[in-house]
Homo-oligomer: A and B are copies of this chain.
Amino acid sequence: MEPMTGYALREAIRDVLGHFWSESFGQIYPTLAELERQGLVKRRGSPRPGSSTFAVTASGRARLKELLAQPIRPVPPRNGLMLRLFFGRHLGPEACRSLVLEARADAERRLVQYEAIRKELELEADHTEDRPFWLLTVSAGEHTARAAIAWADETLAALDEIGASTDAPEERRRR
């Protein structure tokens, strides 16, 4: 994107790629040092905190292209919400309800964030070449979030059904 300090890089990853990527300081700084050793990035300024930025070199950009062309490494799925719902009989319909409500709220929050990112991208004058690609990732986030909301609404209705049929008879009569 542009020359940055390691700290700024982390903030950019969190704020811009946050919905599909993350890196910790423990990854960033050693990697930056290694990339510098390989001549893929160049440090400007002394290593004193707050006074050096890293810029990608020409060979760094070439290496980036190489890496982007490599096959996508699949990450083993691990969705805690789905696992809890799968064992929903043991957890109880009420607890499931709160989990789904929470997931719904998360998705709504994400939708708002995507809106904000869209706005920010439209205002920015730089990176006009990159913008259309960046918007693709925002759009993916929006589709996913909207799907999550639709699923949550369906699921809340289904959980009500389950709750009603599971209730002890006197529970049901009391309504």
Contacts and interface: CB of A to CB of B under 8 A. Distances in A.
B134 A86 contact: yes
Given A89-B130, A136-B158, A79 B20 contact: yes
A6 interface: no
Interface string A131-143: 0111111011001
Given A64-B90, A79-B21, A134-B86, A148 B143 contact: yes
Interface string A81-92: 111111111110
Contacts of A130: 88-89
A120 to B, nearest CB: 15
Contacts of A91: 65, 68-69
* Most chain B CB neighbours (cut-off 10 Å) among A19, A73, A84: A84
A150 B140 CA distance: 9
A72 B77 contact: no
Interface in A29-79: 61, 64-65, 68-69, 72-79
A2 interface: no
What range describes how many residues of A lie at the interface?
35 or more
Interface string A72-114: 1111111111111111111100011001000000000000000
A27 to B, nearest CB: 10
A116 interface: no
B143 A82 contact: no
A171 interface: no
Given A83-B17, A85-B136, A130-B89, A76 B146 contact: no
A133 B89 contact: yes
